[in-house]
Chain A
Amino acid sequence: MPIIPLRKMAKGQNGIVHKVSASGELGRRIRDMGVVPGTPFQVRGRAPLKDPVAIRIRNFTLTLRNNESDFIEVEVDEVL
């Protein structure tokens, strides 16, 4: 399965967290919110200015900035 950064995902696309490469505070915040490898999620949409991105993960909606989502690698079925 192809692995792409979260930023490249399309609205409505599903994926599974493959790796979180951020360390320090950002890494910890990302993990605190339940974004850890193996977790499935869906991209719900993007803010009017295309940033941040909203994802549905573990039954809630999480938004993160594009430059934060760059640290999250995702397994997807196909690259859209």
Chain B
Amino acid sequence: MSKAPEHLIALAGNPNCGKTTLFNAMTGARQHVGNYPGITVEKKEGICHANGSLVRLVDLPGTYSLTAYSMEEIVARDFLVQDRPRAVINIVDASNLERNLYLTIQLMELGIPVLVALNMIDMAASRGMEINSGELSRRLRVPVIPTVARTGNGKDELLGAAVDLAEENPAWEPLHISYGPDIDPALDRMEREIVAAKFLTGFIPARWTALKYLELDEEVIKKGRGIDPRLSAKLEETGEQVSQHLQKTLDSYPEAIIADHRYGFIAALLKEGVVKQSQKADRLFFSDQLDRVLTNRFLGPVIMMLILYGVYQFTFTYSKIPVGWMEAGFAALGNLADSALPEGPLKSLVVSGIINGVGGVLGFVPLIVFMFLAIAFLEDTGYLARVAYMLDRVFRTFGLHGSSVMAYIISGGIAGGCAVPGVLATRTLRSPRERLATLLTAPFMNCGAKLPVFAMLIAAFFAAKEPQVMFLLTILSWTAALLIAKLIRSTILRGPSTPFLLELPPYRLPTFKGLLIHTWERTWQYIRKAGTVILAISILFWALMSFPGLPEIEKRIYDQERSSIMAEAPEQIRKDLVEGKAPAGGAGKEFEAYRVRLQEVDFEEAQAALRNSIAGRIGTALTSVTKLTGFDWRTNVALLSGFAAKEIIISTMGTAYSLGRSKRGEDIPLGERLARDPGWNPLKAFSLIVFIMLYAPCIATISCIIRESGAWKWGVFSLVFNTAVAFIVSALVYRGGIWLGLG
């Protein structure tokens, strides 16, 4: 059997043109989501069959243009030039032809074989637009196929035509447009020079290179300088001359003139006979009516708050059930391993290191699934763009973007969120600096894992004012996140804000299939990529907290204590203690007394072992510094363990106070113990709360920060920087409090 020919075909189009829906319709579940090397732009690939050929379909990021400003544009362009797909399917929103064709024209200027999918043709019809696709095809001189991505209408014809084009494999033939009398002569001259020098012509048509030199395209010029500095200088000089001339005569720039002529070309293309607009239908009527309410000055913000609260509720309330199953499942697995394996370091590794680690990774999965579902819904309906529109003014003040709000809320802006899905939620932000600032500050929010620690401390020290303190903490975390975002944006991420220019797409009902695919891809990506890091670090933490253990001599002391307790016990009770079953009747009380005494020894031993572990020694060593914030070694070691997951802070503190390790969420009398401890006071408790709110995110979050920012350095940054911020603020709280006489 001969292998079917395989064709590489790319999908290009504007954001909101239905590109991903069409991609899903064509490839179904046979797709793979990855990243372009070194950056965070998603790369989606899928396989489908058409006309007996295998098609490898690459969904390029949605772009309005092929300039070199955003990561998405550079990625799309580089892919076309370097991977040289046989054909590009350019998806065009039929109801928004003029602007969508701007990209089409640029693809054709590049010369790559293009076919146009005239998508959402039904939507255009409902707005009273009738488009003559045959005529458009004739004028553009490329195939034009009407499609409806939502229903899959036209996708087979489209794929068939794409395969035909790919098999024909025509040479790249750049479209020639006139850019007017000031540009054209210079462009022709530059083109001739480029052809003569064979400058970049192996990859890119000469005319396109010349055009990019006139548009001052940094990427192309940089590449050109590296290959032929002399010719590049000459081309740059020609560009400069044209530019100066245009500024003198028209007060304009070459790239502006070029854009004007592209739009002029499109206007001419669509003149007479392509689009017929009937007067009867109210264009965008429904969407505009909705916007009248949803972005209304007064109602808009109120409804937005309700919807954001709804997203939060949906994510965290409904995911509780599967989270519960996960926890129960892993607890059962832990118990199974506990009873099956012999006592020793191997058992400890399996139970505390691996099962807890895997549980930690998978425990987030329901949250992530629900969060992505909710956000995909808001994004696909078009509402998320309205949120950005309404909130931009507030967030811009802090160097962020209107869309930052989603990440903040999910991370715990409404107390009880989780920074892992929160950091992943920043994917909806397309402005790189704003996005990075958002994902670095989102972990300051009060996530669900910090809450039990806060609850314990508040109950112990501020019992009378519980709701007020909790509210204060929410305000504090928002203040901290926004101010630190401002700080980051005016220092390490300094730079003007990325242009906002956001399209408000018409409201649409998303397809269920699209939502599911979208959610599944991202969740799987989290499990694969973030999961491995989290697991590795969980094991590392287990080792830090377990080794080197107690020296033999000390272990023997505890063993002796246990033996002497056993020796005191009457014969029958000793037997029951060994077997671990409580006797019925009057002997029960006495048995219980012995059991508690034995347990106390165990707890003492666990405490001593923890103090002697690497983590314990680090915690002890750090006390010379943490005296500024009022933390002793017990708090330090608990905070270290909280780096693995914040909720562990309570159980580690429990061990450090010889109260025994409780399972997660189980109530232990730690609060009472601290309240009675003369070494503790409300000021110390508050200093600790502030520290926990602000210090290093947990490893799950850090691994997501690394994944989402595309660089290890941002993970390390949030670890070091957040801890430094936390330390400074708590030290100010503690020392300031003492100075005010509160300690």
Q: A residues near B, CB below 8 A?
A: 19-20, 23, 25-34, 36-39, 44-45, 47-52, 54, 58-65, 68
Contacts and interface: CB of A to CB of B under 8 A. Distances in A.
A63 B505 CA distance: 11
A17 to B, nearest CB: 10
B672 interface: no
Interface string B240-273: 0000000000010101100110010000000000
A59 B506 CA distance: 10
A58 B14 CA distance: 14
Interface string B667-696: 000000000000000000000000000000
Given A38-B260, A59-B96, 19 more contacts: A26-B499, A28-B65, A28-B259, A29-B69, A29-B499, A29-B501, A31-B259, A32-B64, A44-B288, A45-B295, A47-B389, A48-B296, A48-B301, A48-B390, A49-B393, A54-B295, A59-B98, A63-B504, A64-B502
Nearest to A54: B504
A47 B256 contact: no
A36 B260 contact: yes
B283 interface: yes
A16 B355 CA distance: 65
Instruction: Give 7 nearest A-B pairs by CB, closest first.
Output: A49-B393, A31-B259, A61-B504, A32-B65, A34-B99, A29-B499, A32-B64
Contact of A27 (B98, B255, B502): B255
A49 B499 contact: no
26 contacts: A27-B255, A28-B65, A31-B256, A32-B102, A34-B263, A39-B263, A44-B288, A47-B393, A48-B297, A48-B298, A48-B300, A50-B393, A51-B393, A54-B389, A58-B96, A58-B98, A59-B99, A59-B283, A60-B96, A60-B504, A61-B284, A61-B291, A62-B502, A62-B503, A63-B501, A68-B500
Contacts of A59: 95-99, 283
A68 B499 contact: yes
B433 to A, nearest CB: 12
B392 A51 contact: yes
B99 A60 contact: yes
Contacts of A45: 291, 295
Contacts of B393: 47, 49-52
B99 A33 contact: yes
B394 interface: yes
A39 to B, nearest CB: 8
B396 interface: yes
B67 interface: yes
B389 to A, nearest CB: 5
A21 B10 CA distance: 35
A33 B501 contact: yes
Nearest to B504: A61
A32 B68 CA distance: 12
Contacts of A62: 501-504
B389 A36 contact: no
A23 B253 contact: yes
Contacts of B500: 52, 63-65, 68
B102 A27 contact: no
A20 B256 contact: yes
A25 B433 CA distance: 14
Interface in B493-549: 498-506
